[in-house]
Structure 1
Amino acid sequence: MTQIPRSALILGLAGVIPFVWGALTVLSPPLADWGQRSLGARFVGPYIQLFYGAVILSFMSGVLWGFATKETGARAATGYALSTLPALWAFFFTGGGPTSAGTSLIMGFLGLLLLDWQFWRWGLAPAWWMQLRVLLTALLVACLAVGVLT
């Protein structure tokens, strides 16, 4: 296995912070109260997780699109089409309240992991890609589960 570049690992883990913060504010009402007073209601509990999760799914569509540019012909077209799925998932399935939206995001990120694997299998993603994506997906799904199950 190829080691994950330090900068990619640090930035990837930093991207999990809003999910962790959201889970912590679900589990700790005093922290949620402080966060709401200091940052606003949108930046605590499941709300930060849901908004940020939709943004990240859309961002990951762009990442996959970039991988698809390494191909030509039918495989490129397939890659471009597949790359739109995470953003479309976020757009169509993250409404309806925090529990259903959180569940949809969990499913979206697990589906994204399958897409990551396919692009990696095609040789379009870096050799270390799946190590990073499995780690980040496990962390953010665990955080989202706090919001869904609590």
Structure 2
Amino acid sequence: MNTIPRAPLVLGLLGLLPFVWGAATVLSPDLADWCIRTLGSRFVGPYVQLFYGAVILSFMSGVLWGFATKTQGAQAATGYALSVIPALWAFVMTGNGPEAAGLNLMVGFAGLLLLDFAFWRWGLAPVWWMHLRVLLTAVVLICLAIGIFA
């Protein structure tokens, strides 16, 4: 069964909103101006993407940690060690300005997809996991690229 269950799919897609919103405010100066006046500059362009991206990488560390609890011994130790990488990456690599931080988040999300694949291959993630993660990661990477390069 490779069909993504409705709840993870809907929640995953909703979780993309800050990335999509950030890209939209980069592409539309009028929307960015409205957002600055209404919500504040924290919710515009790459700023919302960078902050939220660091939060999501940290969240995904917790998800991978949960997968690691399904195993024992050396595989568990490896899983736990790998699971902290996205959070540490977000903490260490999101400084040095918005462009560098955005590029580093892109690398972080691409690396996370590799970790997702490893945990899925080990049978620790649901069978539908990679279908969801590829979809979400593709949208995140496109949105971050807009925030950096547009």
TM-score using structure 2 length: 0.99
- 1:1-150, aligned counterparts within 5 Å? 1-150=1-150
Letter of the 1:44 counterpart = V
Letter of the 1:128 counterpart = W
State, as a whole percentage, how many aligned pairs show the same letter: 72
Deviation at 1:67, TM superposition (A): 0.1
CA distance in 2, matches of 1:136, 1:147: 17
Letter of the 1:145 counterpart = A
Unmatched tracts of structure 2, length 5 or more = none
CA distance in 2, matches of 1:94, 1:110: 15
Deviation at 1:2, TM superposition (A): 1.5
Cα deviation digits, residues 95-150 of structure 1 (max 9, x gap): 11111000000000000000000000000000000000000000010000001112
CA distance in 2, matches of 1:52, 1:89: 14
Number of residues of Structure 1 aligned to a counterpart in Structure 2:
150
- Paired residue secondary structure (1:2): coil
CA distance in 1, matches of 2:149, 2:30: 19
- Paired residue secondary structure (2:127): coil
Cα deviation digits, residues 55-112 of structure 1 (max 9, x gap): 0000000000000000000000000000000000000001111110000000000000
Letter of the 2:113 counterpart = L
Deviation at 1:44, TM superposition (A): 0.7
- Paired residue secondary structure (1:12): helix
Unmatched tracts of structure 1, length 5 or more = none
Two-structure CA RMSD over aligned residues (Å): 0.5
TM-score using structure 1 length: 0.99
CA distance in 1, matches of 2:107, 2:101: 10
CA distance in 2, matches of 1:55, 1:36: 22
